[in-house]
Structure 1
Amino acid sequence: MIWFILVIAALIAAPFTIEHYRAVMSDGRRGSAPGQFVELSQGVTHFHLSGSHEAPLIVCVHGLTTPSFVWESLRKGLNGLGFRLLVYDLYGRGYSDRPDGPQNKAFFNQQLDDLLAHLEIDSPFHMIGYSMGGAIATGFAATYPARVRRLVLLASAGMAQIDTPLLNFIRDRGIVGKWLMLAAYPVQLRRGIRAEQALTTVRPNISEGQERQLMFQGFIPAVLASLKGILSRPLEGEHMALRRNSLPVLALWGAEDEVIPASAMGQLAAWNRDVIHEVIEDAGHGLPYTHTDEVLSQIAAFLPAPESDDWGHDT
Structure 2
Amino acid sequence: MSLWPWAAGAALVALPALRELRRAPRGRRLREEAPGDFAALPGGRTHYTWLGPERGPVAVCVHGLTTPSYVWLGLARKLVAMGFRVLIYDLPGRGYSDAPRGLQTPGMFATQLDGLLAQEGVEGDITLIGYSMGGMIAALWAAKNVHRLRQLILLAPAGMGITLDAKTRWARDWPLVGDWVFHMLYPGAAARALRAQEAEPSSVEGIVDRQRAEMGRRGYVRSVLSSLRGTLRRSSEAAQRNLSAAGVPVLAIWGREDPVVPLSAMGQLSQWNRTVRQVVVDGAGHGLPYTHTDSVAAAIRAHWIAPGP
Short-chain TM bin: over 0.9
TM-score, with length taken from structure 2 = 0.94
**Structure 1 portions without partners, runs of 5+:** none
Shift of 1:164: 5.5
CA contact (8 A) 1:16 1:179 kept: no
Shift of 1:161: 6.0
Shift of 1:125: 0.5
Counterpart Cα distance in 1 of 2:172 and 2:52:
41
1:238 and 2:234 matched:
no
Shift of 1:124: 2.2
Give the SS at the match of 2:259.
coil
Counterpart Cα distance in 2 of 1:65 and 1:92:
10
Counterpart Cα distance in 1 of 2:302 and 2:164:
35
1:158 and 2:159 matched:
yes
Counterpart Cα distance in 2 of 1:80 and 1:197:
28
1:256 and 2:257 matched:
yes
CA contact (8 A) 1:161 1:232 kept: no
Give the SS at the match of 1:72.
helix
What is the aligned partner in structure 1 of residue 272 from structure 2?
A: 271
1:58 and 2:59 matched:
yes
CA contact (8 A) 2:130 2:157 kept: yes
CA contact (8 A) 1:53 1:84 kept: yes
Counterpart Cα distance in 2 of 1:177 and 1:155:
27
**Structure 2 portions without partners, runs of 5+:** none
What is the aligned partner in structure 2 of residue 201 from structure 1?
A: 201
Counterpart Cα distance in 1 of 2:33 and 2:169:
39
Counterpart Cα distance in 1 of 2:154 and 2:72:
14
Shift of 1:20: 2.7
What residue identity is the alignment partner of 1:24? P
What is the aligned partner in structure 2 of residue 31 from structure 1?
A: 32
CA contact (8 A) 2:129 2:154 kept: yes
What is the aligned partner in structure 1 of residue 174 from structure 2?
A: 173
What is the aligned partner in structure 1 of residue 70 from structure 2?
A: 69
| TM-superposition CA deviations, 1:142-165 (whole Å, max 9, x none) | 111111210111011110266654
Q: How many pairs are equivalent?
A: 307
CA contact (8 A) 1:161 1:234 kept: no
Counterpart Cα distance in 2 of 1:123 and 1:129:
17
What is the aligned partner in structure 2 of residue 130 from structure 1?
A: 131
Q: 1:147 to 1:275 in 2, by over 3 A?
A: same
Shift of 1:48: 0.6
| TM-superposition CA deviations, 1:194-235 (whole Å, max 9, x none) | 23335x324661111111111011111111111111111221
What is the aligned partner in structure 2 of residue 310 from structure 1?
A: 308
| TM-superposition CA deviations, 1:27-76 (whole Å, max 9, x none) | 21111211111111111010011222320000000000000000111111
Identity of aligned residues (%): 44
Counterpart Cα distance in 2 of 1:225 and 1:217:
14
Give the SS at the match of 1:159.
coil
Moved more, 200-209 or 260-269: 200-209
Counterpart Cα distance in 2 of 1:281 and 1:163:
23
Counterpart Cα distance in 2 of 1:241 and 1:145:
9
Give the SS at the match of 2:48.
strand
Tell me the C-alpha RMSD between the 2 structures.
1.7
1:211 and 2:212 matched:
yes
What residue identity is the alignment partner of 1:47? Y
What residue identity is the alignment partner of 1:91? P
What residue identity is the alignment partner of 1:201? P
Q: 1:168 to 1:292 in 2, by over 3 A?
A: closer
What is the aligned partner in structure 2 of residue 300 from structure 1?
A: 301
What residue identity is the alignment partner of 2:105? N
Counterpart Cα distance in 2 of 1:149 and 1:223:
30
What is the aligned partner in structure 2 of residue 120 from structure 1?
A: 121
